[in-house]
Amino acid sequence: MVRALAAKELREAVRSVRFLAVVLVSLTLVPASVFVNTRAYEHRLQYHEELTRLSRAQSEAAGLRADMAAEAFRGPSVPGILFGGAEPALPSRIRTSRDGLFTVYSENRPADLSSGSGSSTDLAFLTGLVLSLLAFVFVHGSITREKEEGSLRLLLSTGAPRGAVLAGKILGNFTAFVAPVAIGVGIGMAVMVSSPAVRAQLAGQVPLLFALFALVLVLLFLLLLVGLFISMFANRSGVAIVLLLFVWVLLVPGLPLLAPIVAEIAFPAKPYQVVEMEKRLIRTSASTQFREAVDSLYDVIMQRHEVDMDTLEVFVPQRLTGKAREAHLEYERKIATLEAADQAYVHDMWGTLDSTRESAVRSQRRLASFITGLSPVGIFWTLSATLAGTGADEWDRILAFARDFQGQVTEELYGKWLVRPYGRNRVITMPAAGNYPPAVDRSRLHAVLPPAPMAGRVRAGLPDMLLLAVMTLLAGTGCWLKFRSYDAR
Amino acid sequence: MIEARGVSVRYEDGRLALNYVTFTVTRGEAYCLLGPRGAGKTTLHNVFLGLVTPVTGKTLINGVDCAAERISALRNLAILSEKPAVYEYISCRANLELLARLSGGPVPSSQELVSAIREVGLPDRILGSSAKVLSPVWKQKLLLAAALVRKAQSLFLDDPTESLDASAAKELIQELRKLKARGVAVMLTTHDPLVARELGDRIGLLDRGLITRELDPASINANAFQE
């Protein structure tokens, strides 16, 4: 019975204009967006490989400098072709510096990390924004049109169980809606896999791509249920479509776009770039004070020892003798204390800035995630980006990696050299300990961030998966209860 | 057999839509409830169909309580409404098969379908065509054919000639008479006294949910309703 009803719904649906719209979007926009994003991926991968090669060559070449910058990279991700999320805003290059401040570089303009909607026209965008609207339009008349035309009465007068009628409607509409989407995504996948660059990176990603496609199906199923449920409150399909459009505006552009704004108002946080700038200002101001302190220290010590090192042509600390050596040793002792105090001050100030921002950002994310979580599309965007490794949590992972890399380069390179002002006109660079030049493992001066482990991504996405499952269950139950209690009065 | 025993229905605003409606329709008999719009005719149908819950009373089809055992009560029932509600985007054959399967029966054979179609005076060729191309009277006849395929023993008619012109209405009434002659119990509600007179064996006047009196069809003339 359910099959017969589903077949009827299917036959009705495929002859409608709304089906034509789904076919057009699925068979043109989806493959076209995949094509464009695949080409973009190829270019980004080429850029990434070239930069990585150059950086490696540079760090392995002779002539290491104590203040040279080391670079680490993050390559583009294959699932990002379909589910770009925040990919355009995610850093692809990290550059360390001797003063402890690393810099991150993104390829594109920043996207909105909190909503996860990203900024590129990819499958996530098309599903969330276009197919979601079509899903509502698709089912808006499934029950109301039958009410208007009187065929619902005919249907229910046959004695068919209401559960079977509802199941047939859901199954028929879902099949009609999803078939062109599946074909469109299939063509898109074929376009994607036809790229040698994608094929080379595809190992281990296939199950993830299927899981992400399953997520698209779950969202579409949920939206069809929500659409059906809301349309049941109307007796005319015109009213149903107005109701559904209102709900769509609320759920799709509304909540996900509103979430970061509300979160920003509730928990203001300085942008990452501003905090970095403030850190630089702190560094510069502390350096100026340090330099002034060092200069006066230098003057006092040199006067006391009656030495004028500025007149020395060549300054090699190890070769100093007599008063000059005593002055040098005293200067070294005291400057080490000053340096430690300077570093402690700077790191303390940076730590305060970082923790203040991170705490506000954490609160922002929690609130934004709560608001976004009220919308199935918002959850879908966040979850698909998390699973694809292009979500807001990827930003945290990159920053953690950047800090580790900065630490690694400090340990391997910067920490092995002392760079000291020596008088007003001289800065000397010498090994912190041991022989000149210090031994440096050059392979530690470049790195590539590996993709996030799949288990971690799944773990991070688990709450959203559960939320989506609960919403589907609720929408299904709502449909059933509403349809079961249908009263023609 | 169709029975209504003291059926009362209230609207949400508290007004009575049906006021202790009681009647019985036996096999091969047509009982007609004649009343103006808003008298409660469609509501009465909806009570039988389980689409409206009465505050008192019960409805039975072939002795089966429509509220308690809706599915089995409706199994042998067919309806014709004022708007011929067929599924226009599927073929006539698909319509007949669907209605047969929904009422729990097997998929009818082609022979059964052709025989039912012929019996209601429709040409065989319409089976393969979309129901959208049918005229209103042919759509109503298609629903009658569905009743035949399903071997329905009760037929509910809710102003079935409303959307038809006079000759089409006459054509339909003839087919309905044939069905009645086959032993089907018919409950007809209409606001048209002529239709009531043509088809009804007994006529009840329904006014604001109450059956005020019963009439002999022969006593009805074109002005009866105004009286």
Residues of B in contact with A169 (CB under 8 A): none
CB contact under 8 A, A149 and B85: yes
C-alpha A458 chain-centroid distance: 15
B49 and B158 both lie in a single domain = yes
CB contact under 8 A, B102 and A159: yes
Asked if B3 is an interface residue toward chain A (Cβ–Cβ < 8 A), one would say: no
> Can you give the pLDDT at residue A312?
67
Across the interface, of A154, A159, A487, the residue whose CB is closest to B71 is A159
CA A285, A287, A292 angle in degrees (round to 5)?
A: 100
Give the C-alpha distances (Å, rounded to integers) separating A174 from A54, A136, A218, A285, B126.
Answer: 51, 12, 10, 64, 30
Asked if B13 is an interface residue toward chain A (Cβ–Cβ < 8 A), one would say: no
Q: Which residue of A has its CA nearest to B147?
A: A158
Residue A116 pLDDT exceeds 60: no
B184 and B129 both lie in a single domain = no
B2 and B67 both lie in a single domain = yes
Report how far apart the first and last C-alpha atoms of chain A are (Å, whole number): 27
Burial string for A186-223 (b: 16+ CB within 10 Å, else e) reads: ebbbebbeebebbeebeeebeebbebbbebbbbbbbbb
Residue B167 lies in a domain: no
Asked if A487 is an interface residue toward chain B (Cβ–Cβ < 8 A), one would say: yes
CB contact under 8 A, A11 and B49: no
The 10 Å Cβ neighbour count of residue A28 is 12
CB contact under 8 A, A159 and B81: no
Distance, in Å, from the CA atom of A418 to the CA atom of A428, rounded to the nearest integer, reads 8
CA–CA min distance B91, chain A (Å): 10
Domain ranges of chain A: 2-56+117-267+464-484, 68-80+91-110+269-449
Residue B14 lies in a domain: yes
Asked if A455 is an interface residue toward chain B (Cβ–Cβ < 8 A), one would say: no
Order across the sheet with B77-80: list the strands: B77-80, B154-158, B185-190, B30-34, B202-207, B210-215
| Residue of A158, A166, A487 to mutate for B, most B C-beta atoms under 10 A | A158
Q: Which residue of B has its CA nearest to A146?
A: B85
Residue B215 lies in a domain: yes
User: What ipTM describes this predicted complex?
Assistant: 0.84
B52 and B82 both lie in a single domain = no
Task: Read off the pLDDT of residues A36-48 as tens digits, 9 standing for 90 and up.
Answer: 999 989 998 998 9
B158 and B125 both lie in a single domain = no
Task: Read off the pLDDT of residues B133-191 as tens digits, 9 standing for 90 and up.
Answer: 888 888 888 888 888 888 888 888 888 888 778 887 887 888 788 888 888 888 988 88
Number of compact structural domains in chain B: 2
Asked if A163 is an interface residue toward chain B (Cβ–Cβ < 8 A), one would say: no
Residue B207 lies in a domain: yes
Residue A255 pLDDT exceeds 70: yes
> Can you give the pLDDT at residue A112?
46
- CATH number of the domain at B35, please: 3.40.50.300
B 140-199 residues with CB < 8 A to A: 143, 156
Task: Read off the pLDDT of residues B18-68 as tens digits, 9 standing for 90 and up.
Answer: 888 888 888 888 899 888 888 888 888 888 888 888 889 998 888 888 888
Q: What global pTM score does this model have?
A: 0.83
CB contact under 8 A, A159 and B43: no
- Could you tell me the residue range of the domain that residue B187 belongs to? 1-75+154-162+179-222
CB contact under 8 A, B49 and A149: no
Query: Please, where are the H alpha helices in A202-321?
Result: 206-231, 237-249, 255-266, 272-304
Task: Read off the pLDDT of residues A199-226 as tens digits, 9 standing for 90 and up.
Answer: 888 888 888 899 999 999 999 999 999 9
Residue A175 pLDDT exceeds 90: yes
Distance, in Å, from the CA atom of A447 to the CA atom of A401, rounded to the nearest integer, reads 10
